[in-house]
Structure 1
């Protein structure tokens, strides 16, 4: 997934926006001779004015109590975002936001982080649940695109894991980490900030014990991955494990028992038990750049590309990495797919949305296809990675599949293996994510 290129206009917008945002004082971490110092900073970086009075987070907003959780979808289109009911696809709100935008779960079950010019902007999807003893109360309100922004010159990966959200700024190599549930619509939460030595297209994942996985490289080359300790009393982190044998580092996924993988151009790294192991690809160039993990399975689904010189390789092989046995298996198929084709079912099955228009379901234990569900028309991956193409996103037992050619959103019941509903959207959909509500 070659996402590093940005338009000049977006860079100018990002720089201008960042200059306007107030940068707070935080203790930055520096990697030096295998030691990385990390500092806790307040949420002052990017602190904005409170959300508008009409937002879901304001006292005057109309809040309704619901009988059950109300999941919602957030979809991007060229110049805006749609919020839809995840049960029937009804459009609840439309937010204009110029440029190419991306969406990421914020981790609190209510909000979404929009990667846009200037940073990660907070969108409140307007549905949430609050636990009260052994039960919970469920609420809904009007979705709102808040004015809160985590500043980033080039917002990259946003990874939610173990109750924390890690944001990576490709323009600076800076990482902001916050407790996912601390997010609200009034001010940004306190963040732990880590500054890597060089800017690069990277990623960070915080584990349940406080350890932090980070990439390390430059804008020209990224080949290192480090597992850092939790912060000590002086807010310092040290290197627990390191590998420099991962050219073209890209992507990450977490599997069962908190084992992790990071993709390389010649295989994949497995990180578990404070060790980093390299699983070599059978080809001199065997790139695994996108992965989909599941807490229900030790196996990680990944793509697999063999042609280093291709402008755009349309792969016909995918990978299964078993983090329990440290084995890599390649599965050949008779269709192709894109980086937005990979997903996992609630039970851990591997899902691939093929260019043949079918959603293919695989048993990750043996790599055998269990079923193929016809969903969209046949399609071809566009050369430009930012252009819309059929995309799959899973929430619970439903796989949501977009079809840009027809402006449709399809609901696939993974239990029955059938398309249960199709709705026409007002805009051509691009990316999609969801909140549990």
Structure 2
């Protein structure tokens, strides 16, 4: 693997994020100096705030890309800080690749393989901790390619295609083992989402819609906010609550002092089924979500203002945004990346053609991953990943050449 940096502007790829994270650590935390590649010593009696055994704390987001070629099974982890690529155990015939910010979940027909990418963050609200540790395989979960995995700091919920949900101890995963799960009672019509030390679930009410139910982590039903969702599909955790996609728009579920409420964010009028938002993409920590609106437009959901904006874009392959003040990024079938104003929908800029084959097949193909200062676009046919400075007219900051076809990609460390 090699990283090509355009000669016209070879600046550090992470300066804004590094400055922000460093300031947060100085004001609220004590960073660690232990080497993540070596066993960590036991914490002393004066354990620093944020200490994690076996991990190294950093002032900068420790972003890594997990990449998979379903055809060959070749799997790599690209460290975006060092620019190095790590070979890991392969997973062939991967239908989907998802992440919870630290662990990669490689979904196949026979089960879901769990890989610890060794980079993550812990958000304390007023400050953030960034960590890096060794990359390692964790094990397999007995849930096939249709499984939906959602996590918080304590539990990982795995909902299979039949709606049954297994709860795994997150601490066990962090120690390199899957452990023995507990099972949530009943079946559910969408992913079960851990939130605010509880579990949010949509249960078929027998009348063609799903009812929102809140469980505690032991599986006991503790609240039924009285909200219903028709044809649920898609979810996202934001700082303002959990967004659940529904036929008429979205539900925003929030917790305040132990009380759970659900607020409807409807579309402005009827939206045909094929143009509804069914899968959300956004920068971790952002309150601005994107979703395809059919084949030729993108939805932008501003969770803060509770508004939907439909941006006509032309043929859409992938879309994402860093949020307020940043452009809506859209990969179109012409192989170029386009930038739009997320408020007005105005077309701002575009790159040259980056991908010869800008098509998605099933769950594989090009995607756009976004963090605080950069976006990443995978080019399977070209065997490369582009790093894009979305705040500098979509400048190509780095190009990473690979020895595999990265048809599947997710970013960890967020």
Q: Same fold (TM over 0.5)?
A: yes
Which of residues 297, 315, 332 is equivalent to 1:317? 297
**Residue number in structure 1 paired with 2:117:** 125
Superposition deviation, residue 99 in structure 1:
1.7
Which of residues 373, 377, 381 is equivalent to 1:405? 381
TM-score by length of 2: 0.70
Distance 1:298 1:94, change over 3 A: closer
Contact 2:184 / 2:219 at 8 angstroms: preserved in 1? Answer: no
Superposed counterparts of 1:64-143, under 5 Å: 70-78=62-70, 79-87=73-81, 89-107=83-101, 109=102, 111-127=103-119, 140-141=133-134, 143=135
Contact 1:375 / 1:410 at 8 angstroms: preserved in 2? Answer: no
Superposed counterparts of 1:143-162, under 5 Å: 143-146=135-138, 148-161=139-152
Contact 2:199 / 2:214 at 8 angstroms: preserved in 1? Answer: yes
Superposed counterparts of 1:9-408, under 5 Å: 70-78=62-70, 79-87=73-81, 89-107=83-101, 109=102, 111-127=103-119, 140-141=133-134, 143-146=135-138, 148-161=139-152, 164-170=155-161, 172-178=162-168, 180=170, 183-188=173-178, 191=181, 193-197=183-187, 202-208=190-196, 210-214=198-202, 216=204, 224-231=209-216, 235-244=220-229, 246-247=230-231, 249-264=232-247, 267-273=248-254, 274-277=261-264, 279-280=266-267, 281-285=269-273, 286-293=275-282, 298-305=287-294, 315-333=295-313, 335-338=314-317, 341-345=318-322, 349=326, 350-374=328-352, 376-377=354-355, 379-382=357-360, 384-386=361-363, 388-408=364-384
Contact 1:104 / 1:433 at 8 angstroms: preserved in 2? Answer: yes
Superposition deviation, residue 363 in structure 1:
3.6
**Cα deviation code 1:133-152 (max 9, x no counterpart):** x99796543x3323x22322
Distance 1:347 1:167, change over 3 A: farther
Distance 2:246 2:192 in 1: 13
Superposition deviation, residue 206 in structure 1:
2.1
**Residue number in structure 2 paired with 1:7:** none
**Residue number in structure 2 paired with 1:12:** none
Q: Secondary structure at the match of 1:291?
A: coil
Superposition deviation, residue 122 in structure 1:
2.0
Distance 1:379 1:256 in 2: 36
Superposition deviation, residue 336 in structure 1:
1.3
Contact 1:57 / 1:184 at 8 angstroms: preserved in 2? Answer: no
TM-score by length of 1: 0.67
Distance 1:163 1:322, change over 3 A: farther
Long gaps (5+) in structure 2: 1-36, 41-53, 255-260
Contact 2:288 / 2:323 at 8 angstroms: preserved in 1? Answer: no
Distance 2:170 2:325 in 1: 24
Aligned length: 349
CA RMSD of aligned residues (A): 3.8
Superposition deviation, residue 261 in structure 1:
3.2
Distance 1:234 1:126 in 2: 30
Contact 2:165 / 2:187 at 8 angstroms: preserved in 1? Answer: no
Contact 1:292 / 1:300 at 8 angstroms: preserved in 2? Answer: yes
Distance 1:346 1:192, change over 3 A: farther
Distance 1:71 1:288, change over 3 A: closer
Q: Secondary structure at the match of 2:209?
A: strand
Distance 1:250 1:127, change over 3 A: closer
Distance 1:419 1:375 in 2: 12
Contact 1:294 / 1:348 at 8 angstroms: preserved in 2? Answer: no
Distance 1:231 1:325 in 2: 29
Distance 1:371 1:74 in 2: 28
Distance 1:324 1:213, change over 3 A: farther
Distance 1:298 1:354 in 2: 24
Superposition deviation, residue 429 in structure 1:
1.0
Contact 1:321 / 1:327 at 8 angstroms: preserved in 2? Answer: yes
